Structure 1
Amino acid sequence: MPKIIGGSLHEHREQTRQKLFAALSTLMAEQGFDAITLADIAHAAGVGRTAVYNHFPDKEALLLGFITHETEQYTATLQRALDDIDDPVEQLRAYVRAQAQLKRVYHVAPGPELRTVLSRGSQARVREHVVVVEQLLRQILAAGVASGAFPEQDLDVTVPLVNACLSGRGVAEDGPARERAIAQTEAFVLRAVGAAVPVPA
């Protein structure tokens, strides 16, 4: 019988899933989703191939599990940050900064590569996680409109436009260029939704 990791079977299963997610994330960054196999993921995670099948029937199911986990973590962290801020303008700034902090694209619609390798059903499931994040942005913008911080607008149009802007923008890894890019992105998004903000120098 395989050695149990952690103090219980539940902990063992959770830690194995975390290892698989970490391995998947690393391999996707290095090779892309299409190029890796479940055997590659099992090897990188340090688990037997059978262990992968105990959790996920195939590579797409593993990717969807990863996206679900990462989205839940991200939205919970962002929601906690937003709960400490009352001003919708500052909430929107926090949302923009949180998006810029993401190292992996796990809660947005898949890029061109993933669209070519995922089934329609899986693409629809990924889209469900986009909606979770969009709901947070919608709440911020609705509060801003209600308070007068932002003008009246069609949020069905504004929300996807803002997220498209943020998901398509590359930001430098670190240093002054990164901070400048984030500040300019904040100002751009705030102006786009009608907030009165100064243009950063």
Structure 2
Amino acid sequence: MPKIIGGSLHEHREQTRQKLYAALSALMAERGFDAITLAEIAQVAGVGRTAVYNHFPDKESMLLGFITHETEQYAATLQRSLDDIEDPVDQLSTYVRQQAQLKRVYHVAPGPELRSVLSRGAQQRVREHVVIVEMILRRILAAGIASGAFPEQDLEVTVPLVNACLSGRGVPDDGADRERAIEQTEAFVLRAVGAAAPVPA
């Protein structure tokens, strides 16, 4: 019988999942999702190959679990970063900066986009978790409209436009170029929703 990690079976299962997610993330950063196998993930995680199937029936379900976990963790971190900020303009600036940080710690590249890797059903389940983050942006914009910080606008249009801008924006990894790119993105988004934004240096 395999050795139990942690103080209980529940803790053991959770810690094993975290090891699998860490291995999946590391391998995706090297080669992309389509180029790795469950056997490689198990090896890097230090988990028996058969034990992987106690958690995930296939590679797609593991990726889906990983994305769900990461999205929930990110949404909680994002909400904590906003809890002590009252001004909707400052909240939106923080949202933009958090999105830029997200791209550094969570990505599926290199390799094909998720649309070409996941089945349609899995894509829909990913979409359901993305909505968690969109709801935070929607609350920020609604509060800004209510306070007069942003003009009246259709949030059904604005929310996906803002997120499309952020998800498609390449940000350098380090240094002054990175900060300048984030500042310009922040100013662009604030202008796009009708807020007064400082001109980047």
User: What's the TM-score bracket when you normalise by the shorter of the two chains?
Assistant: over 0.9
Please list, as runs of the form range in 1=range in 2, the aligned pairs for 1:118-137 lying within 5 A after superposition.
Answer: 118-137=118-137
Please list, as runs of the form range in 1=range in 2, the aligned pairs for 1:105-124 lying within 5 A after superposition.
Answer: 105=107, 112-124=112-124
What TM-score comes out, normalization by structure 1 length?
0.95
What do the CA deviations read for 1:8-42 (whole angstroms, capped 9, x no partner)? 11111111000000011111111111111110110
Amino acid aligned to 2:107:
V
Partner in structure 2 of residue 63 of structure 1 = 63
Please list, as runs of the form range in 1=range in 2, the aligned pairs for 1:28-43 lying within 5 A after superposition.
Answer: 28-43=28-43
Hey, what's the Cα distance between the residues in 1 that align with 2:112 and 2:55? Answer: 27
The question of 1:169 aligning with 2:169 is answered: yes
The question of 1:96 aligning with 2:109 is answered: no
What do the CA deviations read for 1:148-179 (whole angstroms, capped 9, x no partner)? 00000010000000000000111111111111
What do the CA deviations read for 1:37-75 (whole angstroms, capped 9, x no partner)? 110110111100111100111111101110111111100
Please list, as runs of the form range in 1=range in 2, the aligned pairs for 1:67-78 lying within 5 A after superposition.
Answer: 67-78=67-78
The question of 1:180 aligning with 2:177 is answered: no
State the shift of 1:113 in Å.
3.0
Q: Which residues of structure 2 form unaligned runs of 5+?
A: none
* Secondary structure, aligned partner of 1:5: coil
Hey, what's the Cα distance between the residues in 2 that align with 1:69 and 1:170? Answer: 24
* Secondary structure, aligned partner of 1:55: coil
State the shift of 1:199 in Å.
1.5
State the shift of 1:112 in Å.
4.8
Amino acid aligned to 1:57:
P
What TM-score comes out, normalization by structure 2 length?
0.95
Amino acid aligned to 1:5:
I
Amino acid aligned to 2:168:
G
Counterpart contact for 2:34–2:112, Cα < 8 Å:
no
Please list, as runs of the form range in 1=range in 2, the aligned pairs for 1:15-34 lying within 5 A after superposition.
Answer: 15-34=15-34
What do the CA deviations read for 1:117-168 (whole angstroms, capped 9, x no partner)? 2111001111111111111100000000000000000100000000000001
State the shift of 1:198 in Å.
2.4
Amino acid aligned to 1:152:
E
State the shift of 1:6 in Å.
1.2
Q: Which residues of structure 1 form unaligned runs of 5+?
A: none
**Count of aligned pairs:** 197
Q: Which stretch shifts more, 27-36 or 139-148?
A: 27-36
Q: Which stretch shifts more, 113-122 or 93-102?
A: 113-122
Hey, what's the Cα distance between the residues in 1 that align with 2:124 and 2:24? Answer: 20
What do the CA deviations read for 1:54-105 (whole angstroms, capped 9, x no partner)? 0111111101110111111100111111111000000001100000001223
Deviating beyond 2 angstroms after TM superposition, the runs of 4 or more aligned structure 1 residues are 111-114
Amino acid aligned to 1:44:
V
Amino acid aligned to 2:119:
S
* Secondary structure, aligned partner of 1:194: coil
Q: Which stretch shifts more, 132-141 or 112-121?
A: 112-121
